[in-house]
Amino acid sequence: MLDSNKDSLKLEAMKRIVAMIARGKNASDLFPAVVKNVACKNIEVKKLVYVYLVRYAEEQQDLALLSISTFQRGLKDPNQLIRASALRVLSSIRVTIIVPIMMLAIKEAASDMSPYVRKTAAHAIPKLYSLDPEQKDQLIEVIEKLLADKTTLVAGSVVMAFEEVCPERIDLIHKNYRKLCNLLIDVEEWGQVVIINMLTRYARTQFLNPNVNVKSDLIKSNPLGEKAFYGSDDEEGKEEKAEAAALAKRKPYVMDPDHRLLLRNTKPLLQSRNAAVVMAVAQLYFHLAPKAEVGVIAKALVRLMRSHSEVQYVVLQNVATMTIKRRGMFEPYLKSFYIRSTDPTQIKILKLEVLTNLANETNISTILREFQTYIKSMDKDFVAATIQAIGRCATNIGEVRDTCLNGLVQLLSNRDELVVAESVVVIKKLLQMQPEQHSDIIKHMAKLTDNIQVPMARASILWLIGEYCEHVPKIAPDVLRKMAKTFTNEEDIVKLQIINLAAKLYLTNSKQTKLLTQYVLNLAKYDQNYDIRDRARFIRQLIVPTDKSGALSKYAKKLFLALKPAPVLESPFKDRDHFQLGSLSHLLNAKAGGYQELPDWPETAPDPSVRNVEVPEWTKCSSREKRKEKKVEKPFYSDSEEESGPTESADSESDSASGSGSGSESEESGSGSESEESREESESEQEDKEDEEDKRKKKKKTDRGKVKAPAVESPERFFFIFSRFRFLILEVQRLASDSCSLRTSCRRWHKKTIAPSGSVKTYELLHRITGEGLGVEYCFSRQPFSPDAHMVAVQIMFTNNTNAETKNLHVEDPKLQSGMRIKEFPEIELLPPGEMVTVVMGIDFCDSTQAANFQLCTHIRKFFVSIQPPVGELMMPVFMTENEFKKEQGQLMGMNEISEKLTLGEKCQNEHGIVQRVTSAANVSRVPCGSDKECRFAGKTVSSGILVLVTVATKEERAAQLTVNCEKMVIGTMLVKDILQALTQ
């Protein structure tokens, strides 16, 4: 049927095959017939073929390869859902040969513009990892990239991938921590669970224990408190928190704002309908929150108790662990743990455990009353557990010990053997703890021997009497007498204990019991059971002194009357909290495979600034451009705290000097303005001059061509640069992580001097700190590179920020992807301090956005640098007419066309805005067009000269459609993404 032309027949056949698979029958013989249909048009047939393929591909590797090309085609489909499903199936085929193909597909999908495809890519990562763990390093790169993703759709999946592939790389989380916290509430529920669990671990490594200085009266409150106290001595007092820990006793603990953020953002999730999410938040609070706040989780956990019994089972296990450490938390909900007769036994027993843990002086009476009801239950396992629970309550709470004992003694008359046996065992344990006070109970039990028939109980009583015969010196011999009378009718275990008792009495009170003992031993000698005969023989030799008695008999007393240690009654859930709550390992109380230990709190908090998110370079630029006009940037300073009060002049000055960073950099800005204070007031005047100077020079420069050092002209200028430089060194010394004010100011010079269009972005090649004073930036000048037309011209600007000369600047040892070429710039022999120089080099990127890596060498140092082009810079403008455009476009339809709907950003609603945005995002030129609803652009790639056509069609309101036609799918996709971003901003 699979060979049929009709879809309905194929479908029917596939359905039968899938039903076979479902039943576990082997259907692998049909592989060749099925795999043919992978390209079938019918969606359902296709889906079922996928199901089949994923199931059997592992067994039929060679044949499975036949289907790969279909998926590869699917990966390039314009429809995001088809791309996603192709990737999903491709990555699910466990065939080692296709690992490279999968790797490529994942990498590509990770930068897909559709978040759904990116999500699928995240899902594919663990699949590939399990297939070939050697890909780990490359996969981590992809994970790192996806972690930076801002959509909620991706977040859960990528954290999942992170947990499976590289849970130890906690450093990858730093930059994304705050974002994850903020996105959390909108992530789908399964993702939430994974993220919360991961963040718990993260927080344990990054923050200080909030309970460090809470003097707790509970069991081993915080072994870490003291350690933190000493550990921080050698730390420099850089951070407030470290100090807080060091001065724990005097200063209150200050919680890291990030720690607070996590707690605050997870709290609403306690209201989730998903039990797993609630549990995840609960464990997070249990492990991370200050004691006072942990209570909030109790209510939510109690709510989960209403759920399915499996959920209850897991929740109760965790509650049981929590109640040991934080009993107070669940006390108000005591009644919720009352047991219903309809509960399954395992739930009942867990509830008992919780009730026992919750018992204290005030509520013990109600709990015991409840327990008494439970004893009447028909579920015998449960009754036994209840009796044990009573025993534990009795040991934990001294006040009720007697009551419990009395209650248990009453139980001895129960009809049920199990109840009696269990009670006797528990009583035995209780009595062992303080036998002196309970001789009356032992007496009472001795009396019971007349009535109780259950052999186990009789045996236990006899053991007790024997053990504590000193406390009941009068009764014990009497009991032995009675027992001796009935010896022959007793059960075997009772007989053994009678012998035992006799022996013990003989040793302590031989006067009264000598004859009795001998009588018993004689009876035993002829017993049917060989155990009893043996025991009797052994004991006789041991205790009755004869001529032949060996050395052992001297120790008989020691042997029999040694003090037996009292058994300890404690919860099986004690100490389970070293496993992360809610985890499988916790439930089993054994480490499960892949379990990540929950780390202890650090003694001192690691640097919190690692989580500060740096605004990416290009945003800085664009935001700077936007704000250029504004004179005084108030919000820029509003946050700075150390600042004693910047004067207005300092304000305006620094503004003009820095051109301002974006608002998010308030911290650095604070330091910047502070240093500026140290400068003379006169600077601001100078600044004005400089501005004029700039304008003048700009004119000159444009006339003079590009490749020349801008400075060394007027003495004024020189002085200015010098003073600037002094400031720079100050900055460097301060080691402020980023003083964008300076860099941007430098950048502005370049811009004005070199790129008159003003739309060119500069990128950093070497930061002046890593470059030890040598700062290098680059931009794509968009000029044709004259030595080789297939190369992209890259303008490189060197700034010497040191006060020593830098010599022999040149390129060395380029490491390029195959096909890429590089044309080095001529060596710069000398770069004096404070100077800058600009050169141009050519790179043939082969129409890919792969980075060109090379070494930048000075006379003393080598720096590894890389240049990565945005896709828009890989092309150059092409001039064509409307008709030509249409013709070319007609040839690039179907797979080569990618279109996307968008809403135009506020600033590019008119045609001018659109043109400006598109041309700044990509090096294309405008094509004349008859309709005013459309803007068209054309370009070709620099390396291979492939046409790239861009159309932006505007519609009502701000809606628009962006279409890119290009033979190279990768370029097209990436370009769409870039332009989309430019237009929607």
Partner 1 sequence: MIHSLFLVNSSGDIFLEKHWKSVVSRSVCDYFFEAQERASEPENVPPVIPTPHHYLISVLRHRIYFVAVIQSEVPPLFVIEFLHRVVDTFQDYFGLCTEAAIKDNVVVVYELLEEMLDNGFPLATESNILKELIKPPTILRTVVNTITGSTNVGEQLPTGQLSVVPWRRTGVKYTNNEAYFDVVEEIDAIIDKSGSTITAEIQGVIDACVKLTGMPDLTLSFMNPRLLDDVSFHPCVRFKRWEAERILSFIPPDGNFRLLSYHVSSQNLVAIPVYVKHNITFREGSSQGRFELTLGPKQTMGKAVESVLVSSQLPRGVLNANLNASQGTYTFDPVTKLLTWDVGKINPQKLPSLKGSMSLQAGASKPDENPTIIIQFKIQQMAISGLKVNRLDMYGEKYKPFKGIKYMTKAGKFQTGMQRPHVSCVKA
3-state secondary structure of 150: coil
288 touches partner 1 (CB under 8 A): no
Looking at 24, 645, 890, 930, which residue binds partner 1 (CB under 8 A)?
24
- Point out which residues pair with 757 in neighbouring strands: none
41 touches partner 1 (CB under 8 A): no
81 touches partner 1 (CB under 8 A): yes
Stretch that binds partner 1, among 66-74, 232-240, 332-340, 537-545 (CB under 8 A): 332-340
Stretch that binds partner 1, among 207-215, 438-446, 577-585, 969-977 (CB under 8 A): 577-585
How big is the CA angle at 140 (ends 618 and 770), to the nearest 5 degrees?
A: 50
Cβ proximity to partner 1: between 300 and 840 the closer is 300
58 touches partner 1 (CB under 8 A): yes
Distance CA(569)–CA(30), nearest Å, equals 62
How big is the CA angle at 951 (ends 947 and 954), to the nearest 5 degrees?
A: 175
> Within 393-412, which residues bind partner 1 (CB under 8 A)?
399-400, 403, 406-407
340 touches partner 1 (CB under 8 A): yes
> Within 141-200, which residues bind partner 1 (CB under 8 A)?
153, 157, 160, 185, 188-190, 193, 197
Stretch that binds partner 1, among 247-255, 271-279, 499-507, 772-780 (CB under 8 A): 271-279
The alpha carbon of 819 is separated from its chain's Cα centroid by a whole number of angstroms, namely 39
Stretch that binds partner 1, among 91-99, 674-682, 708-716, 957-965 (CB under 8 A): 91-99
Closest by CA position to 258, among listed 368, 137, 332, 173: 173
11 touches partner 1 (CB under 8 A): yes
Cβ proximity to partner 1: between 21 and 103 the closer is 21
Looking at 3, 4, 19, 688, which residue binds partner 1 (CB under 8 A)?
19
Distance CA(521)–CA(498), nearest Å, equals 10
115 touches partner 1 (CB under 8 A): yes
Distance CA(985)–CA(973), nearest Å, equals 19
116 touches partner 1 (CB under 8 A): yes
DSSP 8-class letter at 777: E
Looking at 69, 182, 216, 309, which residue binds partner 1 (CB under 8 A)?
309
Pairing of strands 947-954, 862-867: unpaired
Backbone angles phi, psi at 816, to 5 degrees: -120, 155
Distance CA(536)–CA(530), nearest Å, equals 10
Least distance (Å) between residue 364 CB and partner 1: 6
Looking at 80, 549, 623, 723, which residue binds partner 1 (CB under 8 A)?
80
> Within 592-621, which residues bind partner 1 (CB under 8 A)?
592-596
299 touches partner 1 (CB under 8 A): yes
Looking at 300, 426, 754, 922, which residue binds partner 1 (CB under 8 A)?
300
Closest by CA position to 864, among listed 827, 813, 809, 821: 813
By CB neighbour count within 10 A (0-12 exposed, 13-18 middle, 19+ buried), where does 331 fall?
middle
* Residue type, position 371, single letter: F
Cβ proximity to partner 1: between 205 and 336 the closer is 336
Looking at 212, 279, 822, 880, which residue binds partner 1 (CB under 8 A)?
279
Looking at 31, 37, 70, 123, which residue binds partner 1 (CB under 8 A)?
123
3-state secondary structure of 807: strand
899 touches partner 1 (CB under 8 A): no
Half-sphere exposure of residue 690, counting CA atoms within 13 Å on the CB side? 23
3-state secondary structure of 960: strand
Least distance (Å) between residue 185 CB and partner 1: 7
Least distance (Å) between residue 152 CB and partner 1: 9
The size of the interface with partner 1 (CB under 8 A), counted in residues, is 107
Looking at 4, 69, 130, 714, which residue binds partner 1 (CB under 8 A)?
130
Least distance (Å) between residue 836 CB and partner 1: 48
314 touches partner 1 (CB under 8 A): yes
15 touches partner 1 (CB under 8 A): yes
> Within 658-677, which residues bind partner 1 (CB under 8 A)?
none
Least distance (Å) between residue 177 CB and partner 1: 21
Report yes or no: 516 and 480 within 8 Å, Cβ to Cβ.
yes
Least distance (Å) between residue 163 CB and partner 1: 9
Stretch that binds partner 1, among 376-384, 494-502, 685-693, 712-720 (CB under 8 A): 376-384
Half-sphere exposure of residue 666, counting CA atoms within 13 Å on the CB side? 13
135 touches partner 1 (CB under 8 A): no
315 touches partner 1 (CB under 8 A): yes
Half-sphere exposure of residue 874, counting CA atoms within 13 Å on the CB side? 29
Half-sphere exposure of residue 722, counting CA atoms within 13 Å on the CB side? 7
Least distance (Å) between residue 346 CB and partner 1: 6
Closest by CA position to 754, among listed 792, 725, 797: 797
Stretch that binds partner 1, among 45-53, 200-208, 825-833, 936-944 (CB under 8 A): 45-53
The two tokens of residue 54 are 């994923």
Closest by CA position to 244, among listed 271, 287, 212, 276: 212
DSSP 8-class letter at 341: T
Looking at 272, 388, 669, 762, which residue binds partner 1 (CB under 8 A)?
272
3-state secondary structure of 78: coil
Cβ proximity to partner 1: between 365 and 638 the closer is 365
Stretch that binds partner 1, among 79-87, 203-211, 219-227, 836-844 (CB under 8 A): 79-87
Cβ proximity to partner 1: between 104 and 590 the closer is 590
Please count the other Cβ atoms lying within 10 Å of the Cβ belonging to residue 428: 18
Report yes or no: 948 and 875 within 8 Å, Cβ to Cβ.
yes
DSSP 8-class letter at 768: T
Report yes or no: 431 and 395 within 8 Å, Cβ to Cβ.
no
Cβ proximity to partner 1: between 81 and 632 the closer is 81
How big is the CA angle at 903 (ends 898 and 905), to the nearest 5 degrees?
A: 120
Looking at 72, 138, 221, 274, which residue binds partner 1 (CB under 8 A)?
274
The two tokens of residue 331 are 């006390």
Q: Binding mask 413-432 vs partner 1 (x if CB under 8 A, - otherwise)?
A: --x-----------------
Least distance (Å) between residue 427 CB and partner 1: 16
The alpha carbon of 721 is separated from its chain's Cα centroid by a whole number of angstroms, namely 48
Least distance (Å) between residue 222 CB and partner 1: 26
Least distance (Å) between residue 17 CB and partner 1: 10
77 touches partner 1 (CB under 8 A): no
Cβ proximity to partner 1: between 277 and 797 the closer is 277
509 touches partner 1 (CB under 8 A): no
Report yes or no: 927 and 885 within 8 Å, Cβ to Cβ.
yes
Secondary element (H or E) of residue 591: none
DSSP string, 808-838: EEEEEEEE--TT-EEEPPPPEEEE-TT-EEE
Report yes or no: 317 and 587 within 8 Å, Cβ to Cβ.
yes
Least distance (Å) between residue 430 CB and partner 1: 16
Distance CA(162)–CA(136), nearest Å, equals 11
Cβ proximity to partner 1: between 592 and 712 the closer is 592
Kindly report each contact of residues 36-39 with a partner whose C-beta sits within 8 Å and lies 24 or more positions away, as own/partner: 36/2, 36/3, 37/2, 37/10, 38/66, 38/67, 38/70, 39/70
Cβ proximity to partner 1: between 164 and 694 the closer is 164
Least distance (Å) between residue 81 CB and partner 1: 4
344 touches partner 1 (CB under 8 A): yes
Looking at 5, 22, 96, 631, which residue binds partner 1 (CB under 8 A)?
22
